[in-house]
Amino acid sequence: MPQKNIWCYTGYTFDTDVMDKMCKNWEETPELLSYLDVIVDRKI
């Protein structure tokens, strides 16, 4: 459905948790991120 946007609430800090830790530990993470239109991370 091209008219829909995919949003994801992570519950993690994007820079430190998702990009630094998750992308390094799980090879699937970058591919999963490529499907998302909007990423909402937790508030610090």
Domain that holds residue 24: 7-40
Q: Do residues 13 and 42 touch, judged by C-beta distance below 8 A?
A: yes
What pLDDT score was predicted for residue 44? Answer: 58
* pTM for the predicted model, two decimal places: 0.73
Examine residue 16 and state whether it is found in any structural domain, yes or no.
yes
What pLDDT score was predicted for residue 3? Answer: 83
Examine residue 2 and state whether it is found in any structural domain, yes or no.
no
Examine residue 1 and state whether it is found in any structural domain, yes or no.
no
**pLDDT tens per residue across span 7-34:** 999 889 999 999 999 999 999 999 999 9
- The span from the CA of 2 to the CA of 30, in Å, is 21
Spatial CA neighbour of 33 closest among 41, 3, 4: 41
Total of domains in the chain: 1
